[in-house]
Amino acid sequence: MLAPLAERRALALYVARGQPVPEYTLDLTDEHFTVFVPAEPPPARGYPLLVFIPPWSRADVPARWRGVLEGNGVAWVVAANSGNGQPDLTRRMALALHAYANVAARLPVDPGRVYLGGFSGGARVAAQLALDYPEVFRGAILDGGSDPVGSAHLPLPAPELLDRAQQGLRLAYLFGSADAASVAAAQASIRAARQWCLPAPVRLEMRGHPHEPADARTLQRALRLLETPLGPRAGLAACRARHEAARQAAVAEVDALLVSGQRDEALAALRALDGRFAHYAGAQIERLAARLGY
């Protein structure tokens, strides 16, 4: 989840302190989840599942959404104590993954219709988790919160994961027109998603809506649009080729600076490479970081 250089710094701290990296960050016997199961039996393929990451600490389904979930036959799970005050990596993302795995082990879930959702800060966490686990989550409902794909807050995953996201990860942006910060954030994130060749994002603006969870009608539209089959992706190969060329050029710049003995300049260029491409250039960043003794 961390960009490569940030990961190296984190691991170096454990080494410096003589501490092992913890294998687990949660004790699930201490955690609590709320699961909503529709009254109607699931279809033959299983329930669609929405894993929700909240900004608040309680584990509940917003009252305005219950009818939408029931009417669409969508199961829902949310973890308690996974709000904005909790660590993103070691709790919020980990709890969401455990929520998915445990519900899928207990209910018939359609693996082709597993989605993430989040509101405000939870939406920002949901976006990163969706980008890093496109083999699990086929889409994400980002309600009132988002970051640009390929930024420090939403670093790119490894090439094979980005390829998979480019083939089928749907992002639905929900925001109120009276929520200026969310409008600006969604616009920036949508531009970046298109730039990084992700399927056409869904943009749902709620007129006059403030910074609060989406209304039932908008959630209904988001769910239906996420389940709309994707058509042919014209231009995907050309888009990927542009990013591959840019990655190669950025790596070559660091190599050239190293060869010419400009260590400080090479380190600055490496940081820029890490900030722009993250794990999309992970193997190259690791090689260059080792040469620089980073």
Mean pLDDT, residues 101-118? 97
Burial class of 33 by CB neighbour count within 10 A (0 to 12, 13 to 18, 19+): middle
SS3 48: strand
pLDDT greater than 90 at residue 231: no
What is the C-alpha radius of gyration for the chain, rounded to an integer number of angstroms? 20
Token pair, residue 276, equals 């722009």
The pLDDT tens digits for 153-178 are: 999 999 999 999 999 999 999 999 99
| Range from 67-81, 141-155, 162-176, 230-244 carrying the lowest mean pLDDT | 230-244
* Nearest-angstrom CA–CA distance, 116 and 126: 6
Contact (CB, 8 A) for 199 and 163: no
Listed in sequence order, the residues at least 6 apart from 170 whose beta carbon sits closer than 8 Å to its beta carbon are 138, 139, 140, 199, 201, 202, 225, 226, 230
Specify the pTM: 0.94
pLDDT at 1: 85
The pLDDT tens digits for 80-93 are: 999 999 999 999 99
Mean pLDDT, residues 216-233? 91
Return left, alpha or beta for 120; rule: phi > 0 is left, psi -120 to 50 is alpha, else beta: left
Nearest to 33 by CA among 97, 86, 84: 97
Listed in sequence order, the residues at least 6 apart from 288 whose beta carbon sits closer than 8 Å to its beta carbon are 251, 254, 255, 258, 266, 270, 273
Q: What is the pLDDT of the chain when averaged over all its residues?
A: 95
Half-sphere exposure of 277 (CA within 13 A, CB side): 25
Q: Which amino acid is at 266?
A: A
User: Partners of 174 in the beta sheet?
Assistant: 143, 204
* Nearest-angstrom CA–CA distance, 266 and 85: 37
The pLDDT tens digits for 236-252 are: 999 999 999 999 999 99
Relative orientation angle of helices 236-259 and 159-168, to the nearest 10 degrees: 160
The pLDDT tens digits for 271-288 are: 999 999 999 999 999 999
